[in-house]
Amino acid sequence: MFFSIDASNGVAIYEQVVRQVKFAIAEEALQPGQLLPSIRALSVDLALNPNTVARAFQQLQSEGILETVRGRGLAVCAGVAERCKELRRELVSDRLRSALSEALRAGLNTEEIQAIVQRQLHELTSQVAPQ
């Protein structure tokens, strides 16, 4: 798979797996009905404890994102792409709110914050292709 885990970013590793599966669904890199790698295979690929991957997959099942396909493994549920897109938007919104709050507490005014955001957006959009 195409996941990237960062043990030093402050987000629990299983939660990073959960988010990345949801993001892959939102980006349509994972399609409804598509099987995910086995717990063992993904844990080897990402150099993670299998229990960590199992916990992530269990959470995704309990949220109705993944379903068990008898004899085959776990697959993406139908109709979850839009929900995953909304969850991604909420996560980004929460992170932006936190960063903006920190900027305000640091004494930056609205114009300074807007200038920083515009500069960062400009730099990032020149590096990353928009979706």
The three-state secondary structure class of 62 is helix
| Secondary structure, 3-state, 55-118 | HHHHHHHHCCCEEEECCCEEEECCCCHHHHHHHHHHHHHHHHHHHHHHHHHCCCCHHHHHHHHH
| Mean pLDDT, rounded, for 104-115 | 96
At 32-89, the pLDDT tens digits run 999 999 999 999 999 999 999 999 999 999 999 999 999 999 999 999 999 999 999 9
Q: How far is CA 9 from CA 52, 53, 72, 84, 102, in A?
A: 16, 18, 33, 22, 18
Cβ-based neighbour number of residue 106 at 10 Å = 9
Q: What is the pTM of this model?
A: 0.79
User: What would the two tokens of residue 67 be?
Assistant: 């379903």
Q: How confident is the model at residue 2 (pLDDT cuts 50, 70, 90)?
A: confident
Question: Looking at residue 23, what is its pLDDT?
Answer: 94
Give the residue-averaged pLDDT of 115-120: 95
- Residue 72 is encoded by which pair of tokens? 């085959």
Residue listed under structure tokens 């493994």: 73
